[in-house]
Amino acid sequence: MEIPFEPVVFGVKLNIHLILEYAAFFIGFRYYVYLKKNTQDPITNTRRLSIIIGAVFGAFFGSRIVGFLENPIISSGPEYFLSLLNAKTIMGGLFGGLLGVELAKKMINEKKSSGDLFTFPIILGILVGRVGCFLAGVNEFTYGKETSSFLGMDLGDGLQRYPIALYEVVFLIILWIFLKYLQKEKTLQSGLLFQYFMISYFSFRFMIEFLKPNTFLILGLSSIQYLCILCWIYYYKTIRKLFYAN
C-alpha cells in the first residue's frame, strides 16, 4: 500500500482522510450513545444535552482559533476565508470543548462532573481520525520532520519522515488500555478519568510537537505546545496530586 492512500472506486478517487474524519465523529458519537444507555448518568438528559451543545460550539471555535494560530498568515479574498474555515486542530477542539462545557454548566447551574462519559468516545474518535491522517501522508500537516533513523517512513514525498500520526495511534491504544484498567480496578473520583485523559494526551502532544516541522514558533515552542501548557495550568491541582500522592 502506497501512502498517501488514495483508493479509486468506480473511477472516483476517494479522500480517505475526509472519509475517516467523518467516520470518527459518527463512531465516537455512536459509542457515546451506547455508553449512555449502559451507564447510570447522574446528569439528566436535558442538562446533558445542554452540555453537549456547549461542547460542540466550544470545539468548533477552539479548533479554528488554534488552527489559525498554527499558521497565522493574514490575507484577503474568498480563498483565504475558506482556508480559515478549514484550518482546524483536534487540540483546539478539545480545549475549546472543555471551556464550552464549563460555560454551559455554569449557565444551567450543573455542579456534577460530566467528562468521564465522553472520555472513551473521544479517544475512539481521535484514533479513527489519526488513521486517516496517517493514510493521507504529506497531504495533511500531521507528518514529522525528516529523519535518517529506522523510525522514518516515506509518507509520499520521497523523504524519510517521522510518522507522528502513527505514533499517536499507538499512544491512544495504550492510553485506552490504561484508562480502562483504572476505571475497572480503581475507585476514581467523578471527573478524574477525563482529567487523566486530557493531561496524558496534551503531554504526549507537547512532546511529539518537537518532531513536527513547525514554522511559526515563539521562544522555540509552537501554538499547540502553548495550549498544552495552558491545559497543565488548568489541571494544576490534579497534576499536583499525582506527583504528591505519596
pLDDT tens column, 111-170: 778 788 899 999 999 999 999 999 988 888 888 899 998 888 888 888 999 999 999 999
Does residue 93 fall inside a structural domain? no
Does residue 34 fall inside a structural domain? yes
Q: Can you give the pLDDT at residue 140? A: 82
Q: Are 17 and 86 in contact (CB under 8 A)?
A: no
Does residue 67 fall inside a structural domain? no
Counting the structural domains of the chain, the total is 1
Rounded CA gap, 99 and 55, in Å? Answer: 8
Grid cell, residue 123, equals 479517544
Does residue 81 fall inside a structural domain? no
The b-or-e profile of 209-234 (16+ CB within 10 A means b, else e) is: bebbebeeeeeeebbbbebbeebeeb
Question: Reduced to 3 states, what is the DSSP secondary structure of residue 210?
Answer: helix
Please give the residue range of the domain that contains residue 139: 8-42+112-243
Grid cell, residue 75, equals 490575507
Query: Which residue ranges in the chain fall short of pLDDT 70?
Result: 1, 72-88, 245-246
Determine which helix (DSSP H) or strand (DSSP E) holds 160, and give its type and residue range: strand 160-161
Which has the closest alpha carbon to 17: 158, 162, 128? 128
Cis (ω within 30 of 0) for the bond into 4? yes
Does residue 89 fall inside a structural domain? no
Grid cell, residue 115, equals 467528562
Determine which helix (DSSP H) or strand (DSSP E) holds 24, and give its type and residue range: helix 16-37
In the block, cell 490534579 appears at: 238
Does residue 75 fall inside a structural domain? no
CA angle 71, 85, 212 (to 5 degrees): 30
Does residue 2 fall inside a structural domain? no
Determine which helix (DSSP H) or strand (DSSP E) holds 153, and give its type and residue range: strand 153-154
Does residue 91 fall inside a structural domain? no
